[in-house]
Amino acid sequence: MSINFWLDLLILTCIWAGVAGAWNLLAGFAGQFSLGHAAFFGIGAYTPPLLAQALGVATWFGIAAGAALAAALALVIAGVSLRTRWPFFTLITIAFAEVVRILAVYFKGITKGSEGLMLELEPGFANYFYLDKWPYLLLAAIYAAGVIWLCAVIRRSRLGFRLLSVREDEDAARSLGVPVFMARANATMISAALAAMGGSIFGLYTKFVDPDSTLSFLLSVQPALITIVGGLGHALGPLLGAALVIPIEHLLRSWFGGVLFGLHGLIFGLALIAVLLVLPDGLVGGLRRRRGRQVRHA
Amino acid sequence: MLGQVLVSGILVGGIYALVAVGLNIVFGVLRIINFAHGEYLMMSMYGAYWLWRMGIDPYLAAFLVVPAMALFGALSERYLVRYTLAAHAHVKIFVTLGLSIALQNLALLLFKADYLNVRTSYQTSTLDLAGFAFSVPRLVAFGALLVTAASLYAFLRYTDFGKAIRATAQDATTARLMGIDVERVYMVTFAIGAAVVGVTGCLLIPIYYVFPTVGIDFVVVAFVVVVLGGLGSIPGAIAGGLLIGIVEQFSGFFVETSLRQVVYFLIFIAVLAVRPAGLFGQRGAEEIGLK
Amino acid sequence: MLRIEDLAAGYGDVRVLRGVVLDVGARETVSLLGANGAGKSTLLRAAMGIVRSSGGRIVFKGEPLTGLPANAIVERGLVLVPEGRALFPFMSVLENLELGSYSRRAKPHRKESLDRVFAMLPRLKERRRQLAGSLSGGEQQMCAIGRGLMAMPDLLLLDEPSLGLAPVIVQEIFTLIGRLSAEGIAVLLVEQHVKRALAVADRGYVLENGSIATTGSGATLLSDPALRKAYMGQKH
């Protein structure tokens, strides 16, 4: 297989490790299971090319704007779900993501609808637009490392402790004076902004943005699957999960994609069930348990 | 004209209500959101479709599809959902989601993405009553809704096993202290939810196409209906279903079809933000369950 | 009738009970006393199979109960009236009572059981159409005991039936408990009202830090100076 195949695999693994890390921040630390991260991912993917076309601004500015827009939507979601508890947060995120997807398809004048946008930008660093794959690997790797580092930092920060306390017992946390809404809103916004950045990089890399590849419901499931496989609530879980899930998905798609339409999704669904039932703590949890057992035996 | 829109809204709403009733009873008793509920509908529709290809009228097919779906529902509880009941929240959500994705793609693998529909003699016939035109299959579906909902309600209200189901919904541990086999209640509840959706599938196939992701179209509305009507409430699900049906038909006047779902979602979000127990739900009942 | 041998039980890694030995004979009323957190409720819940026991044996009418789910234990005539009543709040009093006789053992006799319970607790008959959640605390406790009796128990486990009730009602509850042995029902009573509990009981056990500290007849225990000091200082 060509070098491009491997590069492609690595870039996507890094991007999805980052997006899953963003999801994990909210789900693993705060116990809020979003199934709407496709909305943030898609906003991130669409914003840079749309802004570049409309205002001629550089991609970097578009990435920042996309992250800000996603964070703003996240704040609305946090506000709306203020009084609800599991599992309504999940349903609300699904609803928001669907609204974003439908609107992206509907406003053809801006987004070209389901046809999708081809990215044609001035090559160079300002737009981070290259024909070569290497620069994207660099960017994706920095992104993934950045997200994981940030998650590790947050985990040990005051926000991290607050999120964990809210996850364990919301009422107790509230009665101890933890600002529950603020903690949750902050986590949702950071998570959304990070996921949007992943979407931006994905869009720039594939040079094509359409609702199917950036806003579909399966893209909301993807970061969840990756994180659960890797280890929910562990900073390294998403990286481990992405390193396993993305290559397998890639291979499945290249083997069966054209011939047996649906087989890839069938395996995806069954794998999700199998992981949940066999390894509910994911690879990290499984490894830890194993090590713990050996230590105890010794 | 507006009267006619109201009539078709109520008839469409009946279908939504039926899908929501099945979802709601399972949620009320097991506290599980069954993301695969829409796929149960899809399976029922394919079942009715293939039986029609073999020469069986869709309404007669119900006598085969409904027991088959009840069995499938019972099996999916027994061999899948049961292992998630004591597990973490993420396991609860994602196991049925995995089942949903797997079933959708299995259908895609088996039947391709084609839109299939049946042809029956009564499909396009209408009945004129009091100056309004009633589509016959929709009228049949609505009648079946009333019968199904009323019998389910009576079953839960007046039979011993129905009372056991309600007791389990309110307090599973105490239910067990009454001698109720809670696992059996869970299994039967799942079977009932799937059977109701089996009825819906057979009623829907003369009206609507079947394709692998058809369940999503309906289950999404069912979620809205459930939230609107109040969790665990059967009368609430029916009222919510009819309301959404009417809103849908009226909104057809004002917004384009492609934006219709946006209207549902906005209602859904608004209800959850303002009154999480639902418009018809009792406050606190989302913690207590089936009524 | 009920024999508990060397029972150990707890929640997760927390051991609440260890080495508990206790027995209740037919038609006997036995009180189980002890400070808060001594493990009384856990003992009853372990007997019903709601809390998994990690060691020892629970034998009822000569048959080991270990590993059986609560619904199977109810079928054998061992019935718990849980702490805090635990009625089904959105169901009527009558429905609550009917559910009491849900077991195969009790269902065929539902009509007679209902008449008997209504005769013992006439207020429940007046309120039978009302939602259980709307009853007063005392009525709820009556309903919970009535629901327990509907199961036709050979041995009824009562977990703090007087908790949070006014003195007049407490008196009523204890009178009712006193009548149960005449109905042929053995009772194992967990209570905070030590004096009353021992007065109504044939024998008593004192649970301390998860195991049985003292046992004896009501009168002996009442005069036991250690017990008086430990549990009766705060209660009358």
Contact B102 A280 (CB under 8 A): no
Domain span at residue C117 reads: 85-152
CA distance A124 to chain B (A): 39
**Two structure tokens written together for A142:** 């920095």
* C138 plus C182 within the same structural domain: no
Tell me which residues of chain C, numbers 74 to 93, contact chain B at a CB-CB cutoff of 8 Å. 74-75, 79-80, 82, 86-91
Q: What is the mean pLDDT of residues C164-177?
A: 92
Mean pLDDT per 10-residue interval, chain B, length 291 residues:
84 91 90 92 97 94 97 96 87 91 94 90 83 86 91 94 94 95 96 96 94 89 85 85 88 78 84 73 47 43
Q: How many domains is chain A partitioned into structurally?
A: 1
* C234 plus C182 within the same structural domain: yes
Enter the CATH code of domain B2-288. Answer: 1.10.3470
The C-alpha torsion from B53 through B58 and B63 to B66, rounded to 10°, is 100
pLDDT of residue B66: 97
Q: How many domains is chain C partitioned into structurally?
A: 2
Contact B272 A81 (CB under 8 A): yes
Total Cβ atoms within 10 A of residue B120: 16
pLDDT of residue B291: 43
pLDDT of residue A171: 83
* C55 plus C161 within the same structural domain: yes
Q: A234-272, pLDDT tens digit by residue?
A: 888 999 999 998 998 888 777 776 677 788 888 889 988
* C98 plus C125 within the same structural domain: yes
Contact C90 B170 (CB under 8 A): yes
* C3 plus C15 within the same structural domain: yes
Contact C99 B163 (CB under 8 A): yes
Mean pLDDT per 10-residue interval, chain A, length 298 residues:
85 96 92 93 94 88 94 93 77 90 88 84 82 90 95 88 84 83 90 96 92 89 91 89 89 74 85 88 77 45
Is residue A108 exposed (0-12), middle (13-18) or buried (19+ Cβ within 10 Å)? exposed
Does residue C234 have a pLDDT over 60? Answer: no
CA distance B289 to chain C (A): 9
Domain at C172, CATH number? 3.40.50.300
* C227 plus C161 within the same structural domain: yes
* C191 plus C215 within the same structural domain: yes
- Chosen domain end from C112, C129, C152: C152
Contact B83 A277 (CB under 8 A): yes
pLDDT of residue C106: 95
Q: What is the mean pLDDT of residues C174-183?
A: 91
Threshold 0.95, pTM exceeds: no
Nearest residue, CB atoms, B105 vs list A82, A98, A262: A262
Contact B178 C147 (CB under 8 A): yes
Pick from C179, C176, C148: nearest CA to C162:
C176
Q: Chain-wide mean pLDDT for chain C? A: 91
Residues in chain C with CB shorter than 8 Å from the CB of B285 are 90
* C59 plus C161 within the same structural domain: yes
Chains touching chain B, criterion 3+ CB pairs below 8 Å: A, C
Contact C71 B163 (CB under 8 A): no
Percent of chain C with pLDDT over 70: 96
* C44 plus C89 within the same structural domain: no
* C164 plus C142 within the same structural domain: no
* CB contact B102 to A (< 8 Å): yes
- Chosen domain end from C152, C174, C204: C152
- Would you say residue A283 lies in a domain? no
pLDDT of residue B277: 67
pLDDT of residue A146: 95
* C120 plus C236 within the same structural domain: no
**Range name among A41-50, B184-193, C167-176, C226-235 with the lowest pLDDT average:** C226-235
Count each helix (H run) and each strand (E run) in chain C, helices first. Answer: 10, 10
- Would you say residue A233 lies in a domain? no
Of residues C102 and C229, the one with the higher pLDDT is C102
Domain span at residue A126 reads: 3-217
Pick from A250, A203, A258: nearest CA to A47:
A203
* C138 plus C63 within the same structural domain: no
Does residue C232 have a pLDDT over 70? Answer: no
* CB contact C157 to B (< 8 Å): no
- Chosen domain end from C124, C152, C180: C152
CA distance B134 to chain A (A): 31
Tell me which residues of chain B, numbers 95 to 124, contact chain C at a CB-CB cutoff of 8 Å. none
Residues in chain B with CB shorter than 8 Å from the CB of C88 are 166-167, 170-171, 174
Nearest residue, CB atoms, A269 vs list B98, B220, B262: B98
CB B256 within 8 A of CB B25: no
Contact A260 B256 (CB under 8 A): no
Is residue B86 exposed (0-12), middle (13-18) or buried (19+ Cβ within 10 Å)? exposed
Collect all residues with Cβ–Cβ distance below 8 Å to C115 and sequence separation of at least 6: none
